[in-house]
Structures are given as structure tokens and as C-alpha cells.
Amino acid sequence: MPERVGEPVIAPFGDAALLVTFGERADPDLTARAGALARLLDERRPASPAVGRAVPAHATVLVPFDPLAMDATAAAELVRHAVGTMTGASGSDAAGDLIDIPVRYGGSDGPDLEEVAERHGLSAADVIDLHAGARYRVLFLGFAPGFAYLGGLPDAIATPRRLSPRERVPAGSVGIAGEQTGVYPLSMPGGWNLIGRTDAVLFDPLRADPALLKPGSAVRFVPAR
């Protein structure tokens, strides 16, 4: 399907949500558009209480609505109107602050660092330089409370998921899976290659602003010891 800018596909997803699809691939520009639409819809919620919290992802926005208060056609019309008023967001627009995340790389904090280095014919120091030298962008949140999908991992250290997931990955672990890097906000099972760990609290439900990383935030990892 050809992607025409400004004309996403808006389709019902069950009886209480729409899925708005900007494209079929992970692409920074599509992600930025999805994020911009989600923000716009959220800003308009006070005027449309039947519309729920929008959930952006790589190239889509999930738009929940109360089907007893609004039908799918009206919800789609509302989305279409919002799309029509979107300004040209792109992946290079900085929507958030720059957040530094201090990371203790390697050792027991990053048990897979050496393996990642060997796989790419690099030294552990090279992996740290590459990982900490890049600037990342939060694409969207999902998977677990406060978990941010980050774009911008250097290809040279992209590493497939571990074959057997760990039963328990400590909170704050910094990992690589495929072309993604991310931080586990809580202790949970996981299959990412763990290269370090941070003391930063990624998610605290009692904080006024519970998630440290939000869509659009720019992120840098800073080696710490």
C-alpha cells in the first residue's frame, strides 16, 4: 500500500478502539507523526470525554473510545480532523529534553557486555564508547510501565535477543535486543543482552511525572563507576 503523507488508514480495532496506521515499517518520521497525533488527541480529550488515552507506537496510534457514548464513525471523524490539523512533525523534531542516564557498564551489572563485544569483533571499551556515544530518541512506551523503546542504536552493536531469556532481569538493567536498546524499569523476565545497569528510577507511580522517559525525549547514556 503506498503511504500518502497525511492520510493514515483509520480502522476499527474491536468495538471500543480505532487503530490509526501511518505505515507498515519502523521509521522515525512515521513514529514522530504517530506521537504528534497522540499528543494532539490527548490535548483534545477535555472536549471529547468519550475518547480514551491514545497509545502511539512505531507507525500507529491506538485510539480507545466509549462505544456507548460515541460510534466508531464519529471517532474516526474526530481522528481525521486531528490529522488534518497536524503540523509537519518529523523524526528530527526535538519534542523533549535531553536526559542523561548514568550507566555502570560491564561486570555483574552488564553480564553480556563481553559477549556482545566478541560477536562484533570489538573490545568491551569499544561497545561502551559506541553505546554511550550515540544520541537516542524515545519512540514510544510499552511492554512494561515506564519502558521506553529507544531509536538510534549504532548498527555496529545491534545484537539479536538471547536464545534463552533470563527469568529475572534486575531493575535498571540496560540491554540491547536487535536494533533496540532500552532500560528495564522493573525487575522482570527478559531476553535482552545486558551490557550495564543504572540507578536512575525509570518509573515511579508515586512521582507526579511517573515515567522518566517520554515519547520524544532525547536520551544519552553516560558511563559511571
Partner 1 sequence: MILEALDGGLLTTVQDAGRPDWTHLGVPVGGPADPWALSVANLLAGNDPADAALELTLVGPRLVAREGGVLGLAGADLGARVVGGRRLEAGRSYRIAAGEELAFDGADGAGHGRALRGARAYVALAGGVDAPRVLGSRSTCLPGGFGGLDGRALRAGDQVRSGPSDRRPAADGLVWPIEDDATADAPRAPVTLRALPGAATGIGSLTGATWRVAAAADRVGVRLEGHDLPPDIGGEALTHGLPWGAIQIPPDGHPIILGPDHQTTGGYRVPAVAISADLPLVGQLRPGDEVRFVETDSDTAVRALRDQRDRLAAGAAALLEAAGWDRLAASAGG
For the chain, the 3-state helix, strand and coil shares in percent, each to the nearest 5, are: 25, 30, 45
Q: Taking the CA of residue 35 as centre, how many other CA atoms within 13 Å lie in the half-sphere pointing to its CB?
A: 27
The total of other beta-carbon atoms located within 10 Å of residue 62's CB is 17
- Report the alpha-carbon distance of residue 52 to residue 35 in Å, rounded: 15
CB 129 to partner 1: min, Å: 29
Q: Using CB under 8 A, pick the residue from 19, 74, 177, 224 that binds partner 1.
A: 19
- Report the alpha-carbon distance of residue 67 to residue 64 in Å, rounded: 9
By the rule CB under 8 A, 52 interacts with partner 1 = yes
By the rule CB under 8 A, 16 interacts with partner 1 = yes
| Angle formed by the axes of helices 72-84 and 28-43, nearest 10° | 110
Site string for partner 1, 62-101 (x = CB under 8 A): x-x--xx--xx-----------------------------
By the rule CB under 8 A, 58 interacts with partner 1 = yes
C-alpha cell at 187: 525487575
By the rule CB under 8 A, 116 interacts with partner 1 = no
By the rule CB under 8 A, 136 interacts with partner 1 = no
Q: Identify the residue whose cell numbers are 464519529.
A: 74
- Report the alpha-carbon distance of residue 160 to residue 174 in Å, rounded: 15
Q: Using CB under 8 A, pick the residue from 36, 40, 110, 149 that binds partner 1.
A: 149
Q: Using CB under 8 A, pick the residue from 50, 122, 158, 186 that binds partner 1.
A: 186
19 or 134: whose CB is closer to partner 1?
A: 19
Which is nearest to 52 in space by CA: 84, 24, 23, 78?
Answer: 78
Residues of the shown chain interacting with partner 1 in the complex, contacts defined by CB under 8 A:
11-17, 19, 21, 24-26, 38, 42, 52-62, 64, 67-68, 71-72, 140-147, 149, 185-186, 188, 203, 205-206, 210-211, 214-215
